[in-house]
Structure 1
């Protein structure tokens, strides 16, 4: 009897335990699932890289630190995936291992929402070991700009790009190209960090001072009219944003110091700004060419006044670009139910206009409207608002006319997707045939064009198959997981297209088409020669000494040319640069390593029917440097540097504007450090001289 009661009690206890376990199993579900209904993953990023790229040596490792931004309660866990295990591997904790030379992508994917991911491009190669700036400290005035230059070591680094950052954007800002603009008085540190994830960086401490404003007289003394029969300024022509032509009524010998050039922005204002002149040249003492310093280049509608006080003559002119009409387009992709985020550019249409503009806006997608936004009193743009209430493809045409008569015909194609609708952007990519040996100045060699375009569908189940419907022989389709690429390899100019069918992997009834088009034009060889004021060809004596930039004038952003090359890199004595570019008009700019000298050639026409050879005269003089120490020549020394850290070049040739310089440089030989001191005075009469450096052991 007792035994029976004991067994009954045991059975009851077991029943309670089982019931409790079942209850717990019912109440306990995976965290990601329990949070799914109450939250949303908005962004997946990596917090320990300055950009979405990384360079590692073979055999080295790096562990990613993911940062998942969410709203509400939802899992922040991620998974990792590599596009090529043979190049780089990644484990479940985000530890990347470099396997062999090459490039692969690492995907950091949200567990809660696999559509949210961050893609890191990993290169197994040579990382940056050092970053150096051309200045470590500097002083600026509010409103002024200067360009910092970053040099990375080694020269064969797989990625030489850097990321710029300001410690206080209220004091000074910095662009992606290292251009610093002083905003208000204070101290700020500008940092350049290697983009390859090596962690190498360099900094420049900048002190910004208040602008000293001159108080002009209420009634400035006007320049009296020239006496009858005297020499006056007959005509004044603005040739470009930094070049002015002055024609006198008769021959008169004038120096640069005889000219005064002033500028202003407001037509009703006064000429309070005096421009700095880089050079004044003439061949007949009647027509003079004035080149403005880079800090005083003109912008549209700027007014200038050129005067020659000793002749009591002056003349005014307005720098004005001709009105243009351009056609532009863009594609905006949204999910059904999406609204607009005022922090994202996709919410706005901000055309490049002068002053205020009139907008004429066509039909918008269901649920979408717009409003005009005015910034201050001199510009306006469109801001889109609302929520997309229907999937599909919609077209909106926008016509813009600004104050100067410039016209823009803009088309927005809206592609709205949902679970039953796939959308993909039709791609038009422009290119041109280039000679791979052009940089070295070799005339022979095949002109080719190799390129690819990424196909990025949205909607459906987010998993797709890709099928070629039709294509040109020189094109191929390359699927790459979620994406696909249309590629081209051709030696002939022409228009080439490929039509691709994109089908939902989980439902073949859901599909769409997209077209990839490459427009390839012929490349034309352009040769530039660069000389100093005495006709000496600029020699290349150190990497990065002088650079030439060429930029297309047309405003179709899908097909713009923006290139740069080092002058004389392949033949230091020629002072030349070669570019292969399509026909059209270009702005050409030359700048030295320190950014202190800049020269423009505006609106240069490249045509198959012309020679396409140009020459630019830089406002510099060639200085030949010698050493007073026979045991140690000039070639042994590094950069010549001023006391404020400004670099002036390297080797036996320097190119300097008029001015006085004290430069130093160091070298090591047999364990001994030597310092060279160079004192130079460059004038319009003592120019292109040979100067001897004093070399002593420290």
Structure 2
């Protein structure tokens, strides 16, 4: 290779290398340019307060806030504008606040300010009604971790309102809540559960949930006064434990008081208990009703956990009915709208108008009253009042005004037998006053359709007539419209209707042996919290046979339901059937205890006391109260009690001698599977043997 060739080769090699370097570096620079971030708007989303992406509802005059999300690479690109399809229905602010202006529908379109092709739309419905109040049934709820509880809610709203609520929790790590108010304990701590309106009114109610670690001890989980028919008193409590435990009636101590700041000074006797799982107990109180407004405390010392629980019994009926009668020209009338309000209450007219001459007055420090002098006829003029008391309870009162004059007799139209007024069962009986007003005071009443002699006028008063059942065997299930006409001595007439709704019942025939001082069989309906005595509802031929070794047969009619069947002895419920399903005609046969307690009464000289004395037998643990007993009267020096169940008893023998009262208490008598004997010695001499 010569020198020229070598130089040429080096030059060529250098140029080739430069070209290779240039080819390798140029694409790298271009690639860097291509990966440089480009600012864009990817999507726009809009969500209603309910969480819906399609629609929202707002009350007229109220506002809701839309949640808008813009997916963009730069914060500055997240701005949006709003467009409304119908500005007469809604308006929308720059911050996405939608206000309802007029009932109807409109669409809100959300538009990206940077890229007008990126939009989202939501349909808005404006309703004329609005939510007025949201009220949860509990303000506090205790749960174990892993357990659930149900909250119910009452929404008070005007017509055509949007009543859907949003349920939220303040701490999902403590408690969660579903759209149906089911709360679940997640972790130890407290959280607030809120049920809030979605129509823009801002109405809400909260419940504080306390979640505790899973309890290994057993205590009272909940306490309530059982009152399915919304009566103003109840004799049944429901006590639920954390876990099953076998308890007896003696394990339950029940106390009451009238004032929250007061002390529990009233003890209520427990009659019996009922349970199917040893965890939820129905506690029946003995002749001591728990009345509206009273506080109740239950203590179960046999538990190793929460031993005590208390609750206030408050009845919150949907509707209370009243009737007001008057005559044009009467003196001033005055009556309370809601006598069961707690403390000061406030009332307003919900529907209807007051008769001429009347005014509604919310008195200072008292309940609302209607006052006035009637000045015009009112024929079944209904006025519905909405009342709220100091405890926040809402009551609706329907007052039917009957105002007549000398020429106009107005007669009440009334419905009974629905749950509001209590239940009436087939083959049963009832008595109801139907009111009237007007006329000259000398009236006669007649039923225009007695339904083949089933109903009759029983009593006639100055402003009402009593209607009752003639033959309860004819009272079948169904609805009866009983027209009643009132006529005065001048021939003026008026007519009204008593509508009677009768619930179906079934025939129950019961046979028992006649070895008990009381052959009455009791049926307690667990569904309605009602006790039926077969003796009180039986028909013709009540009992056949006389006391002794005979069989007593009784027939009665009971509504469908699940019953406990028992009879009573010394205040005890002797269970004959713990859970009886009555769904059709039923034949029952029971054998009551045949055990006897007998003995002789002796005087101070150990002679048979052949003079009149009363002998009362008590359960030994009822001796102090002396409330429950079975009594006998003897003048031959002997006594006998039949049909005594196993247990411990005490006799109290009393009488009079020379105008002075005397009394002796026996020792304890134990009955266990057989007859028992107890003689009693008196502290006085027999009049036939006066030596002392």
Higher relative contact order (CA 8 A, sep 6+): 1
Q: TM-score, normalised to structure 1's length?
A: 0.42
Task: Select the structure of larger CA radius of gyration.
Answer: 2
Q: TM-score, normalised by structure 2?
A: 0.42
